[in-house]
Structure 1
Amino acid sequence: MATKSKKKFYITTTIPYANAPPHIGFTLEIVQADVLARWHRLIGEKVFFLTGTDEHGSKNYRMAKEQGLTPQAFVDKNSNYFRELTKILNISNNNFIRTTDKKVHWPGVLNLWKILAAKGDIYKKKYTGSYCSGCERFVTEKDLIDGKCPDHPNLKIELISEENYFFDLSKYSGKITQLVKEDKIKIRPLKWKNDFLSLIKDGLTDVSFSRDKEHLPWGIPVPGDENQVMYVWADALTNYLTGIGYPDKKYEKFWPADVHVVGKDMLRFHSGIWPGMLLSAGLPLPKEIIVHGFLIVDGQKMSKSLGNVISPLELRKKYDSDSIRYYLARTIPFGDDGDFSEKGLVQRHNDELANKLGNLISRISTLIEKYGMEKCENKLLKKLKIKEIEKHIEKYEIDKAVNEIFAFIDVCNEYVQNKKPWETHDKKVLYEIADSIKAISILLWPFIPSTSEKISEQFGFELKYDEIKKPLKISKIKKGEILFKKIEIEEEKKEEKDRILSIEVFPELSKKGINVFSAVFKNVKISNKNLYLENLKKEILNSEINLDKKIIDGYKEFYKDKNMLSGADSILSIINKNKMFPNINTIVDAYNLASIKTSVSMGAHDLEKLKGNLRIKLTDGSEHFIPLGQKELIKVELGEYACMDDEKILCRMDIKQCDETKITKNTKEFVIYAQGNKNVNRDYLKNSLINACELIKKANGGEYNLIEQKINKQPEVKEIMTGVGSVNFSDWEKLDLRVAKIKKVEDIEGADKLYKLELDVGELGKRIICAGIKQFYPKEKLKNKKIIYFSNLAPRVMRGIESQGMLLAASDNEHKKVLLISPDEGAEPGMRIG
């Protein structure tokens, strides 16, 4: 058991950039830091916990101008959001430092600059380089992927040329490397120590320490040079000193920092630049740098520049602070990336906080109020692994520490179930559980402070670490408020997308060899790029690409008179032209890789944008669609084939996808299909799809289920009507042809060939059909006309209208002349033809 100690403990978060309200990624950092700060207070240490906001820089200056605000008003507004975050999440920081504070921050920054300059470690030179405004640093080609910063792909890399001050970091490169290797600057978890050492194996380079005031008017002036302002590292990093009083001697009470908590993208600056500045100034170095991972959304780091943030301020309006704190501390280990999920938060709240902890407190307090307690030795406490919990905290394994505490809560709940104090009224059992609740509450205080404080007040004990060893004093305990009310999870409504259960190839195309295999993917996280896929692309580019000519020719048969390429052929054409593999996103890139490997055409569509089941059929000439990347509808010719849902064309032949259903970074569920031809074996086609699905899963996560192709058993009307081929009598008997009377004729918006007809079919009632006869019959000639109606043809959706059958008509071979087939006078609606 840790003993009471008066030694100091100084912990910091990074100071987030105040260009927008906070996102859930920084919330993870500040909650993890607060858990550590509270733990060290709990064991009796003198703790100082610092956080704040970084407020200078080009982004804030530019964004303030865009919003019609002064830079100071702009950062005041955003800094207040971060200050509010500390309050609503019960963060126990001792100070909130702002880099625009001229009284508290500026004096220390100016003092440190002068010390470094006097040491000869700051010099001026002209420099031209690529600059990422998201990272606020110059970058080299090796830092970029396809000319973009991997952490800020939406921001343009700028080429900047100007004369600035630089800090001679390279002078301290060897010393910093040695200090990190020898753990004199500890980086934890260890994998990040190794990552940093790998990063600096070629040595640390000098860093820009200022910007031209003409380009950046918003910053701390460089001493003795009115044309320059300090760059972020000279300014923001110094907050760890100014936040505790530097340059006043009082800062020495807490310096050096015991722990800097930083995100993995901040590692190089806190382990490289910051120690270099301190070595130059002759100041003690921080003891440990603890690294946390990113919170992931859609497969990418959650960040303001990508616009995919979750607001903790909005989240707090829905959930208690302890529920949010508990979920972040319990679910996401230091050093690892984690996926924030509201559903996961609710599950943890209900299953662990409400069911396990909350119910234990409620049951025991109710029984104690009724039957009282009798003091005795609490043998249950022997099952509480306090030493293990302490070790986990010391190693920054806060998720494992809270897991041990809840393991003991399980022990207590099981003990209550076995002893049944509601039947036995055993006061000693109730005392043992109450005393155990004291220990649990004290240990949980760093994680869920509000709840622990309520329990301590209800059971009458102090939240001090050494109270765990002391027996609980007998006091009057009453049943209190419900600590954690269950949160109802709304069952997701089944939408149209849940009905995507089949894909059908119509017989006229099936006979020509068109066949498909498809799958439905769920719970994917899509990003712009994936390292594994990028390496596969490089392998392909460095090898000879040979598509299967027989398979490609099988596709070309369907558009040999058109200037078109099949899916794989089109990708190869782009590769040959651009000397690089196309990059769309990690779903499209994955199935494009599979397509190049197998020569099979593939496509995918966002399930949320689909209506009903999928079918591949011949077009009737009335269809239109918007091709990928375009805005205007184009007409689809009669006799082509297309993949359709109930309302629209999804893909024209195997190559032209519609824009509406494309896969984007917001897609969560989608259908993917591999389309074969007469030269593609069914097993080969299935394996090609599985190959694509496994690539997608590796790069995007999620799970998939294969969908079997539906075989259309409907007799082919065209052959029966035209006399092409022989027809069995049993096939003829399946047709239900009736006399029908046209009651109403309406135009269909956007359709130049179709009418919507309302038919009277006698005993069958009213039926609606779509008929492509607009060019041949004016409306007035159709009303009340009797026709022959094919009543049991499977319905299909045309232009958003379900057509419940078809009428019979005669036409010439060019379809230039169409005549309706009408029954004799005296035939009544509903009469059967046969």
Structure 2
Amino acid sequence: MLTNKLNTFRRYCAQASNPFYATTPIFYVNAAPHIGHLYSAVITDAICRYQRLRQPEQSLHLCTGTDEHGTKIQQAASAQAVPVAQYCDDISARYREVFAEAGIANTDFIRTTEGRHKQAVAQFWRTLNAREHIYSAAYSGWYCVSDETFLTDSQLRLDTASNTRFSLESGHPVEWTEETNYMFRLSNLQDDVLHWVKQGGRIRPGKFEKILLDMLSEPLPDVSVSRPTNRVHWAIPVPDDDSQTVYVWLDALINYLTSVGYPDEKFRSYWPPNVQVIGKDILKFHGIYWPAFLIAAGLEPPQQLFVHSHWTVDGQKMSKSKQNVVDPVVAAKTYTMEGLRYFLLREGVAHSDGSKYTQVTD
């Protein structure tokens, strides 16, 4: 198994141009970090460590950070009875501390509440608008607050006992929402995204490429990329329209550009990323929305997405709401952080969920 993982790292590094750019997802601050978050960071760090050994003189950029806007953040701060900005500061600091203790050698830790990121989002929005990929429309549909996305009927299940609809993918409840939003012409870019995926080697492991192709086998609807300010105030305002804020997923994905200097032209020396490490639950956003946004803005999509599965407890994904989260700081007190890093890399299998952690901690 270790040999296979080393071969994976070698494949990424062999494809590297100069310089090398790798990213973790940025982590949502609605809850403190758990070992699933650390797993993403450790994989990315391992790829970069190998690259440094292979080409020590090469310029290398590893970006990680925190995603700090949206309805869930408003709700989490309210539940803690603290100002939203203070809540974000506290949780973001915990991620930074865990990654430092784990030896994650990131060259940037980005927060979406930073001024540089707000500038990048505004410029990216104006570019999409100028290229006629955004329009305003009345919109209604089933909205999942936990997933921060609208869902179609085919993505829902109905609990007849409670007459409540839930997301098929995440299991979270949805609510009917009617509002005026800005829409992104995703439907116009389906063939472009499909072409990117079909070039081969873009999505690894291969099972996730198949999942993505299945998603792309059905017509893609246009996607809402703003929310009314009176509903989602903790977000970046839409340029030239203070009545709307930028959809958290458009905002969040742009962090990968912000980190390398966008909109300053210097970002092009690192673009596109060599590899972006993500969890399987955000495949749609990184494998469909993200390349579509980039193509619409006239930019190249990432060279590769490396998608990993989840660490589970008793067969269930870790979740604050389920109270089954494994705190890496607590685990490291028993096994050391280096021991935890080794365990995650040794026992983790990207194409399927890992549940052995419960055995280790028994």
Q: Quick check: TM above 0.5? A: yes
Among 186, 195, 198, which residue is 1:169 paired with? 186
Letter in 2 for 1:201: S
Letter in 1 for 2:279: G
Residue 762 of structure 1 corresponds to which residue in structure 2? Answer: none
Residue 80 of structure 1 corresponds to which residue in structure 2? Answer: 93
| 1:133 to 2:151 alignment | no
Residue 162 of structure 2 corresponds to which residue in structure 1? Answer: none
Separation of aligned partners in 1, 2:173 and 2:205: 33
Letter in 1 for 2:185: D
User: Against the structure 1 CA distance between its residues 305 and 231, is the aligned structure 2 distance closer, same or farther, given a 3 Å change threshold?
Assistant: farther
What's the CA shift for 1:46? 2.4
Residue 80 of structure 2 corresponds to which residue in structure 1? Answer: 67
Contact 1:204 1:272 in 2 (8 A): no
Residue 113 of structure 2 corresponds to which residue in structure 1? Answer: 100
Q: Between Structure 1 and Structure 2, whose CA radius of gyration is higher?
A: 1
| 1:158 to 2:171 alignment | no
User: Against the structure 1 CA distance between its residues 204 and 342, is the aligned structure 2 distance closer, same or farther, given a 3 Å change threshold?
Assistant: same
Separation of aligned partners in 1, 2:275 and 2:321: 28
Among 197, 221, 228, which residue is 1:205 paired with? 221
- Show CA shifts across 1:273-295 (max 9, x none): 11111111111211001100011
Separation of aligned partners in 2, 1:52 and 1:305: 23
Identity %: 39
Contact 2:312 2:355 in 1 (8 A): yes
What's the CA shift for 1:343? 4.0
Residue 263 of structure 1 corresponds to which residue in structure 2? Answer: 279
- Show CA shifts across 1:553-575 (max 9, x none): xxxxxxxxxxxxxxxxxxxxxxx
Residue 47 of structure 2 corresponds to which residue in structure 1? Answer: 36
Separation of aligned partners in 2, 1:10 and 1:335: 23
| 1:23 to 2:34 alignment | yes
Letter in 2 for 1:304: K
Separation of aligned partners in 2, 1:220 and 1:165: 14
| 1:149 to 2:162 alignment | no
What's the CA shift for 1:150? 4.1
Contact 1:128 1:159 in 2 (8 A): yes
Separation of aligned partners in 1, 2:241 and 2:320: 33
Q: TM-score, normalised by structure 2?
A: 0.90
Contact 2:77 2:87 in 1 (8 A): yes
Among 90, 101, 106, which residue is 2:103 paired with? 90
Letter in 1 for 2:247: Y
User: Against the structure 1 CA distance between its residues 79 and 200, is the aligned structure 2 distance closer, same or farther, given a 3 Å change threshold?
Assistant: same
Separation of aligned partners in 1, 2:170 and 2:285: 17
Q: TM-score, normalised by structure 1?
A: 0.40
What's the CA shift for 1:173? 0.3
What's the CA shift for 1:66? 2.7
Letter in 2 for 1:124: S
| 1:242 to 2:258 alignment | yes
Matches within 5 A, 1:235-384: 235-341=251-357, 343-344=359-360
Contact 2:332 2:339 in 1 (8 A): no
Pick 1 or 2: higher relative contact order, CA cutoff 8 A, min separation 6. 2
Separation of aligned partners in 2, 1:96 and 1:312: 19
Contact 2:65 2:109 in 1 (8 A): yes
What secondary structure does 1:338 align onto?
Answer: coil
- Show CA shifts across 1:340-390 (max 9, x none): 425437xxxxxxxxxxxxxxxxxxxxxxxxxxxxxxxxxxxxxxxxxxxxx
What secondary structure does 2:113 align onto?
Answer: coil
Residue 757 of structure 1 corresponds to which residue in structure 2? Answer: none
- 4+ long deviations beyond 6 Å: 1-6
Contact 1:152 1:306 in 2 (8 A): no
Separation of aligned partners in 1, 2:111 and 2:169: 25
Unaligned runs of 5+ in 1: 346-491, 493-834
What secondary structure does 1:161 align onto?
Answer: strand
Residue 4 of structure 2 corresponds to which residue in structure 1? Answer: none
What's the CA shift for 1:182? 2.1
Separation of aligned partners in 1, 2:168 and 2:87: 28
Separation of aligned partners in 2, 1:334 and 1:341: 15
Residue 190 of structure 1 corresponds to which residue in structure 2? Answer: 206
Contact 1:31 1:91 in 2 (8 A): yes
